[in-house]
Amino acid sequence: MGKLSVYVYGAEEICSSCVNLPSSKETATWLEAALARKYGKKITVHYVDIHQPETEKEKAFSKRVFEEELWYPVVVIEDEIIAEGNPGLKQICQVIDRLLS
């Protein structure tokens, strides 16, 4: 596989139990920077506001976030939930390495 898209689903507001954690958008930003350093242009990070999804795929997954009460940000690669709440870079990189090999 040549190129992967990483989706970070979340919202602007931070839940009360996540006050000391970065927002979903901030998570997408640092994740994009970290993954660009490690993988270059092989990875594209997309932030999706669960209250304003744009594509049908984003709308369907955003609905799932609400229905399943997932902790956001939710990191998704290849339609698989990789992490939710406070995503770890090591865990995300392990999945990317597996998918890129």
Q: Which domains does the chain have, with CATH numbers?
A: 4-100 (3.40.30.30)
Query: What's the rounded Cα separation, in Å, for the pair 26 and 9?
Result: 12
pLDDT per residue as tens digits for the range 28-80: 999 999 999 999 999 999 999 999 999 999 999 999 999 998 988 999 999 99
Long-range contacts of 12-18 (CB under 8 A, 24+ apart): 12/49, 15/71, 15/72, 18/71, 18/85, 18/86
Would the pTM count as exceeding 0.85?
yes
Rounded to an integer, the average pLDDT of 1-23 is: 78
The closest alpha carbon to 98, from 75, 74, 86, 82, belongs to 82
List the beta bridge partners of residue 45. Answer: 6
Q: pLDDT class for 2, splitting at 50, 70, 90?
A: confident
- The reported pLDDT for the residue numbered 61 is 95
List the beta bridge partners of residue 49. Answer: 10
* pLDDT reading at 18 higher than 70: no
